[in-house]
Structures are given as C-alpha cells and as structure tokens.
A and B are shown apart, each in its own frame.
Chain A
C-alpha cells in the first residue's frame, strides 16, 4: 500500500520495448511490437482495440502468465521477466488481482472458500481472520448471503463479482481485468463498473480490456491497440 500515497509520482507499471512473438505453425507471429507504457498509481485505464490486436497478450505480459519475448516489464518495482514461474505465481498472488471474461471460479468450493484459497496460496491464510476478511469482501460486492453456495448456484454477474472479491483477497495495488463484462448484459455490467469506480476511489490502479462502447466515458485514460502497437493513448495524467 505504501506505493499509493508515498510514491504518488513514481510510476507503478513501466513497460519498455515489449515484444511478444508467438511461434505458430504458420511461422512467428508478432502479437506485440515494441510497446512502451507507463502507468501511475490510482490510474483507471481502458484498453481497446479490434479482435486480435494484442490486448489479452498485453495483460498476460503484465501478469506474467506468459513469457516475454523481449523488452521489460516492471510492476511496482519488480522486474517481471526476471522471476521464475513459482516466483511469478507468488508475486502475482500478492500484488495483482486478475479478472477474466470467464469467471474462473473453482466449482467445487463455496464462494467464501474461493476467496480464502487465494489467501492460502500466498501464505496469508489464518483460520478465523481470513474468513472474516473474505466475508467483508463478499459484503462489499453484496454477496455475503450467498457465501456458502457453490458458484453453480449464482448468476454470471454474481460470479464476476465474486471473481473481483477474490482478486482483492490479498489487497493488491493493481487490478488487471480482461473483458470482465464480456459475458454480461449491460445492466449487470453496470454493477461491475460501479465496483471498479469504488476501487479507484479507494486508490487501486485498474487496467481493463473492454469492448464496451461506453468505456471511454467510464475511464480516465484510453489506450488503443492495433496490430500489436499502441495507436492512441488519450487522457494520460502524466502524458506518455
């Protein structure tokens, strides 16, 4: 949390000359071509672009779930490309909240246990305390009364709210969301955006990929990708 206030002017995410090349049967495919990007604490950023532009790839590079081909990514002082797989997993669990289009909840666990599991893997789990924290998080997404149900018994919008609550389990500074409302209707999407707004108010930094047409009026800064390159970056607080 120290990053949020004390280092107000220090960038939270710094990406330089980031290249991602996939080896495909049809030869190498450059999904990202020399991306430079700086994100400051508390920023609310929307990433847009056509299908195949490289949005998901960019998110994956920041969260470290896939290998960087060249360039470097620094998140909150950590050089992502230098961590090994296990190091990345731990670091991600503690510093990032990741939200996907498909909610990716574990079907065999209750909503509350889905959240405490995230604490467990980061070594932050303490029996009573963690469960109380999980209940508070569910409370904040208005799902406390469903805490003991399995994900199969709630709606898609509710699932995504649980996924957000889980992303917040270890109180990370950064939230990465890849089309979080992609599977939801517009009314339900509203509730998700409302939660994001609240998180920004609390000082979190959010990087969200979305096809939502109204995105530009919701976020402070919009980055547009096309063919693996940033073609526009509007509303940047500190310029880019």
Chain B
C-alpha cells in the first residue's frame, strides 16, 4: 500500500471518535431514507398484492333472498368473471370480557369463496356449529372457545371458534374499517342453526378488469335487470373500487408524512455530515500543510480525502442497507397489523438500495467538497504556523458588538456566548438541524390535534348517547313513550332511513345513496358544512349531500335539483347544502324526516331512534349500560330490535385508526429529535476538541472543573433555546403541510388547522434536556484534561 493510503488509514485509527461521528451521521441519514422509502414501498406492495389476491368485489347488490341459480345466471353474463352469493346477519355476542358486542356473521358460499376471500390465519375451516372470527377486533376469545350469540329474535346459540381469519374487505361497505364491528364466518348449512333460511341476499360480482367505468355501470344495470327479472326487489347497488384496499388512505397519509420526513432527514443528515467533516478537516489542516511542504500537490490531497470520504460512504452503506431493510419490514409489520393487510416480511427493494447507493456516493462528497477545497487551499506556511488557539471570527461581527453592549453579563457567561457564535458556519448548521428536528416534533402534536378536532367535529353528527335500530318501522310516539319509561332516558328523537338510488342516463336505478330522514329542528346534529346550509324547519324536498357527491359529481351545486329513486319512485330534491363526513366514497344524504315518510308511506313512523341519556348517566359514563338495558327492554317487549349501541363506543373505535397515525407521528418525532441531538452532541464535541489548548490555558489561570464545564453547558443550552425559538416558527408551515397531507388522504378534505401548545412546551423541555445531555459529555471531557496534557500538546 502506498504511504499516502497508509496515512489515511492511520488517521482513522488514531482519530476514531471523529470518524465514527462522520460515519454515524451519514448512516443515520441513509438509514432513515432507506427505512422510509423501503417501508413505504413494502407497505404499498404488500397491501396491493394481498388485496389483489382476495379478488374483492366490483359490484355489490343487495336484494331479497335468492339461491345459487341466480348466481349461476349472473356468472354467465358477458364481462362477469366471477359471482358469489353472500348473506350477512347482525347478532349480539358475549365476548371474553363478558360484554355484549355487535357481531356481523357472513355466510361462506356453498361452493367456496371466489370473491372477497378471507385469509385463514390459524385454525381450520368451520363445519356445522362452528365459526371463524376475524382478527381486526380483539374479542378476548381463542380458537377452541365457545362463542355465545344472541339472534335478532332473542334466541341464544353457541358456536365453536375454529380459527382466525383476516378479511381485507372490512371497511369497503358501510362503516369504515376502524368503526366496523367484529366479523364471524359460518358455513352455508349453519344458517339453519341460526334460524335463517338457506338463501343469499347479496350478490357479489367481479368484472373483466379491461372494462371501463361506464362499461361497468352498464354491466351493473344488466345484472340488476337480471335480478329483477327473477322477481326480486333490489335494495342497493354499489360499485366498488376493487383495486384498492379500504385502508389505502391511511397508507397514503403515512406515505405523505414519510416523504416530508425523508426530505427533512436528507437535509438534516447532510448538515450533520457537513459539520462533522468540517471539524475533521479543521484538524487535518496542519497535516495537509506538512504534506504540501514535502511535495504533495493540491490534487493529491483532494484525491486522498475524496477516497477517504468514499470509504465513509461505503461503510455507512454497509451499515445502513441491512439495518434499514430490517426497520422497513418492522414498519410494514406494524402497519399491516394496524391496517389489516399481510406484510410480506423483510426483503431488499432494489430501488431503495440504489437510492441509498446514490446517496452514499453523492451526499458525503457534496458535504465534504467545501471543507476539502478550503483546507487543501491553505498555504504551507499558514498551515505550519497554525497555533492551537483559533480565534474564529471573534470580535469582527455585529453579534460581538451586540454582546459588548449587554451590561451585567458575567465574564464566563460572555465567554460562553461568544463561543456559541464563534464557528459561524457550524453554529448555523447545528441550529438549522436542531430547529428542523424541533419543528417536526412540534408539528406532530399539531397534526394530532387537528386530526382529533376533525374526529370530534364528525362525532357531532351523532350527539345522542345511544342509537337503537329496529328491523322494521315503528310509530314514533309509541317508541318515544316506551323508551322514556326506561330508567335514565331523558329524550328520544326519530330517524328514518332509506336506501335510494341515483339514476343512470337511461333513467334506471344505479348506485345507492344512503338517505337519513331527520327532524329539521333536531339539535342532535352539528354538521360540518362545505357549502350551503343544513335542512331547516319548513323545508320539504330539501336535501343535503355528503362529500362523495362533491367528489364524484363536481358539477352539482347548491340550488340544483337531483333526482333519486326512493321507494321505486323518481323523486326530485333541491340541494340546499353539502356536508363533510368521514371522507367515505359512499353516498350519504340527509332529508327532512316528514317528507321522507310521505314518500315511503311510513307516516309518523321511524326505524332508528336517538336516545339522550339523563345527566346522571352521562356523568357516570354509563351509556353502554343504558344501551344494553334498552336492548333487553325492547326485545322483552317483543320489538324487532336490530341493535342498540352507545355512540361513544363508535367514536372510541374511530379514534383507533387515528391512534395508529399518532403513534406513527410520535416515532417520527423521536427520530428527528435523535438526529437533532446527535448533531448537537457532535457540534459540542467538536467545539470542545478544538478548544483543547484554550481550555488548558483557562485551567492554568485558575478555572475550576465546574467553571470549565459550565462554559460548555451554557453554550449547549444557548443553542438549544435558540433552536426552540426557530423550530417553533418553522413548525407553522410544516404543521400546515403535514395536516394537509394527513387530512386530505384520510378524510378527503384539508381539514381544520389546529395548534397545540403542548407540542411547543414539551419540545422546550426536551430540547433543554437534550442540550444538557449533549453538552455534558464534552464538558466533562474538557474538565478532565490536565493542564500538562493540553499545553504539552503538539
């Protein structure tokens, strides 16, 4: 090996901490980029592959009971690639914690699932009085346990759990994934045991993927025609997006956040690398001078250090590639568990590895080129006469003049203050790094706050405490009287529901719209209006539409007329407003209850009742108990009760999905805090090392250990506080961007932008602590140096 390379190698050996710092700062950045891009790619791939494999339905039609013959007929239609019959049954179950919860039981078709296939995760397929349970909600029961259920009639039945499944279609219809109840899956024959007819009531269809959107609609109309020919009434038609997992929005939100984080991390680690390299070269100045004195050309020097940097990049690459691939897979596992898809385990994504290689080749060279050029330009005589004490820019800038003017500063305080600004470039970069880290940290709190504010607002659509659903309409005054007789009920409000359809060009019924009839004077609904107004007393055929209309039919506006099939009649509605709900793709609308009843012929009747609990119940948090008592009461009285649910249970579940994001945001903020503190520790370490000689001089003139340490610690704290200030400012645009990304991927709207003071305060505490920690070790090192060591240093 040539002596020059031996010099480089020996450099590394004799100066390990600095080299390790450079490599670490590189590796941190490359790791973060690898984990972020890898995690995103793996998640998207796994989610897509998993969802493709279950053959999710393109068209879903609910109707009256039918048998396999209809399914067979639909299968033979042109453009249909598969069709299945399905039946869903809503029952109550007693979970392992002894609580009654909603359970939706799906019937597996006789000839096996071809559409919306479930993945058997453990156990085996059920036969007879057996059931499979989906894993997305913990029911505290295991395979082999017996599950007690209560049928709508009140009859109780026992089923043995034979295994666990994953059903990725949860969230495609009705409720979003996070508010969906538990699901169970039984064999077709078991319907009898559950007092049901051996029929289907839902038709699932997969169509030729080559069909255009319009062709699918036409095909859907054809299928509906077929169903109606069999003498069956169609109650709903839904065209689904079979290509994307119902929780894709969450992954997109997370992907968006990851992109912001990844972008910042590249910057952060770039600054970090630049700082650590500058320090490294500051130390090399003298050696470069010596080498030049004995004949080294500038190009020799540049080449030597460029190669050194290349080696840094390669080492960082070797560390970060496997580590980030591992972390990506863990991220994928976490998201898979939370967002209902199967993660495909650890693997290297070529694109990500290539990205990391490119970064390894470019980032350190880019960060190193300035310090290298600067130091290689230094003249021999300048380098050789370099003393240990480097004044930096002291005394030449406005900041020093400013410091001079501040009266009452103690001498040591003044030294700390001046030291802080001494290495201008390094100080600025450290400040930027730490400020960015802090800004991301603070932003995560703001994003969480705005997510929570949004969920809170959405929860204002159902201000009642308990919602009870019946299987048929009942007289409003009768149910009101009955409900009020239950202890703890303070008020009752009726709701009508109707599945209605949009009309296609040929004037036939097409996609379904879920319509809710509410009393216009209701104060149990606080809508979020996007445009126009809510229904008012005196309105007749007024209708407010949800965001799905605004997205799919952007031409619709307030004042327009929309025609819907209601109860097999074409009804014209005047649009009075658009409201914002959970960002679902399905169509929802609110109309005045009386007018809806006029059309459906259910005068003075309703199918759903919103119950307001007495203040005592609300205060004691006994809504779930009230829901259960109402359930018992109406069943005992012989009413066809479908379900009785406490609304806070629904919102508890809804926030679960957001918790995934929040957890994720927290991990993110932890990461940025880590990068920030590495950079601060690096800076403080470098500052102290550079001032070794000067520290010795101070010790020689009588400074105590504590005084020396305090100088360093105060300097660290000054940087910390300044970074907090700038980080807080930066948090505004970053929070705004992140909230926008998250809200628009999940809810489809920008959402309200909320600032949470706690983020600012927590970060202040953390940054002070971090600065303290980041400066204590270097401070301690500085204090430990003996005068002899320092002054004898050559």
A132-170 CB contacts (< 8 Å) to partner B: 166, 169-170
Expressed in whole angstroms, the minimum distance between the Cβ of A238 and any Cβ of chain B is: 30
Nearest 10 interchain pairs by C-beta: A93-B295, A108-B10, A65-B380, A117-B3, A86-B297, A121-B295, A118-B294, A121-B296, A116-B3, A108-B14
Binding stretch for chain A, among B284-292, B583-591, B777-785: B284-292
B290 near A104 with CB under 8 A, answer: yes
Give the docked Cα–Cα distance between A102 and B10 (Å): 21
B424 at the interface (CB under 8 A from A): no
B4 at the interface (CB under 8 A from A): yes
B13 near A170 with CB under 8 A, answer: no
What 0/1 readout, one digit per residue, does chain B (296-319) give for beta carbons within 8 Å of chain A?
111110000000000000000000
B397 at the interface (CB under 8 A from A): no
B769 at the interface (CB under 8 A from A): no
Interface size band for B: 20 to 34
Most buried by A among B6, B289, B296: B296
Name B residues whose Cβ lies closer than 8 Å to a Cβ of A.
2-4, 6-7, 10-11, 13-15, 287, 289-300, 379-381, 384, 794
Expressed in whole angstroms, the minimum distance between the Cβ of B593 and any Cβ of chain A is: 86
Give the docked Cα–Cα distance between A117 and B287 (Å): 12
Minimal Cβ-Cβ distance residue in A for B2 = A120
B298 near A89 with CB under 8 A, answer: yes
Expressed in whole angstroms, the minimum distance between the Cβ of B299 and any Cβ of chain A is: 7
A109 at the interface (CB under 8 A from B): yes
Q: Return the contact of B4 from the options A86, A104, A117 (Cβ within 8 A).
A: A117
Q: Return the contact of B379 from the options A66, A98, A170 (Cβ within 8 A).
A: A66
A200 at the interface (CB under 8 A from B): no
Give the docked Cα–Cα distance between A93 and B297 (Å): 10
Minimal Cβ-Cβ distance residue in A for B293 = A98
A125 at the interface (CB under 8 A from B): yes
B294 near A93 with CB under 8 A, answer: yes
A9 at the interface (CB under 8 A from B): no
B13 near A92 with CB under 8 A, answer: no
A174 at the interface (CB under 8 A from B): no
Interface size band for A: 20 to 34
Name A residues whose Cβ lies closer than 8 Å to a Cβ of B.
60, 63, 65-66, 85-86, 89-90, 92-94, 98, 100, 102, 104-109, 113, 116-122, 125, 166, 169-170
Given the contacts A117-B3, A120-B4, A125-B3, A92 and B794 also touching, CB distance less than 8 Å: no
Minimal Cβ-Cβ distance residue in A for B8 = A108
A106 near B290 with CB under 8 A, answer: yes
A109 near B3 with CB under 8 A, answer: yes
Most buried by A among B10, B13, B293, B379: B293
B287 near A89 with CB under 8 A, answer: no
B291 near A117 with CB under 8 A, answer: yes
Contacting residues, chain A, for B289 (C-beta < 8 A): 104
A100 near B6 with CB under 8 A, answer: no
Minimal Cβ-Cβ distance residue in A for B287 = A106
Contacting residues, chain A, for B294 (C-beta < 8 A): 92-93, 98, 117-118, 121, 166, 169
A121 near B300 with CB under 8 A, answer: yes
Contacting residues, chain B, for A86 (C-beta < 8 A): 297-299
B291 near A121 with CB under 8 A, answer: yes
Contacting residues, chain A, for B379 (C-beta < 8 A): 65-66
Most buried by B among A85, A121, A125: A121
A89 near B292 with CB under 8 A, answer: yes
Contacting residues, chain B, for A116 (C-beta < 8 A): 3
Contacting residues, chain B, for A104 (C-beta < 8 A): 289-290, 293, 384
Expressed in whole angstroms, the minimum distance between the Cβ of A27 and any Cβ of chain B is: 19
Q: Return the contact of A109 from the options B6, B296, B297, B381 (Cβ within 8 A).
A: B6
Q: Return the contact of A108 from the options B13, B298, B299 (Cβ within 8 A).
A: B13
A122 near B295 with CB under 8 A, answer: yes
A117 near B7 with CB under 8 A, answer: yes
| A-B residue pairs in contact (CB < 8 Å), sample of 13 | A92-B295, A93-B295, A102-B384, A104-B384, A108-B13, A108-B14, A113-B10, A117-B6, A117-B7, A117-B291, A120-B4, A121-B297, A125-B3
A120 near B381 with CB under 8 A, answer: no
A170 near B293 with CB under 8 A, answer: no
Expressed in whole angstroms, the minimum distance between the Cβ of A102 and any Cβ of chain B is: 7
B381 near A89 with CB under 8 A, answer: no
Expressed in whole angstroms, the minimum distance between the Cβ of A25 and any Cβ of chain B is: 11
Contacting residues, chain A, for B299 (C-beta < 8 A): 86
Expressed in whole angstroms, the minimum distance between the Cβ of A61 and any Cβ of chain B is: 10
Minimal Cβ-Cβ distance residue in B for A120 = B3
Contacting residues, chain B, for A108 (C-beta < 8 A): 7, 10-11, 13-15
Give the docked Cα–Cα distance between A169 and B293 (Å): 13
Contacting residues, chain A, for B794 (C-beta < 8 A): 102
A106 near B7 with CB under 8 A, answer: yes
A113 near B293 with CB under 8 A, answer: no
Minimal Cβ-Cβ distance residue in A for B6 = A113
Give the docked Cα–Cα distance between A157 and B348 (Å): 58
Most buried by B among A60, A86, A104, A166: A104
Minimal Cβ-Cβ distance residue in B for A91 = B295
Contacting residues, chain B, for A60 (C-beta < 8 A): 381
Expressed in whole angstroms, the minimum distance between the Cβ of B81 and any Cβ of chain A is: 71
B7 near A109 with CB under 8 A, answer: yes
Contacting residues, chain B, for A93 (C-beta < 8 A): 294-296
Expressed in whole angstroms, the minimum distance between the Cβ of B199 and any Cβ of chain A is: 85
Give the docked Cα–Cα distance between A98 and B384 (Å): 12
Give the docked Cα–Cα distance between A65 and B380 (Å): 6
Give the docked Cα–Cα distance between A65 and B14 (Å): 28
Contacting residues, chain B, for A170 (C-beta < 8 A): 295
Expressed in whole angstroms, the minimum distance between the Cβ of B248 and any Cβ of chain A is: 56
Expressed in whole angstroms, the minimum distance between the Cβ of B73 and any Cβ of chain A is: 85
Give the docked Cα–Cα distance between A236 and B14 (Å): 48
Expressed in whole angstroms, the minimum distance between the Cβ of B637 and any Cβ of chain A is: 92
Q: Return the contact of B297 from the options A63, A89, A100 (Cβ within 8 A).
A: A89
B3 near A119 with CB under 8 A, answer: yes
B10 near A109 with CB under 8 A, answer: yes
Given the contacts A104-B293, A106-B287, A106-B290, A121 and B298 also touching, CB distance less than 8 Å: no
Contacting residues, chain B, for A120 (C-beta < 8 A): 2-4
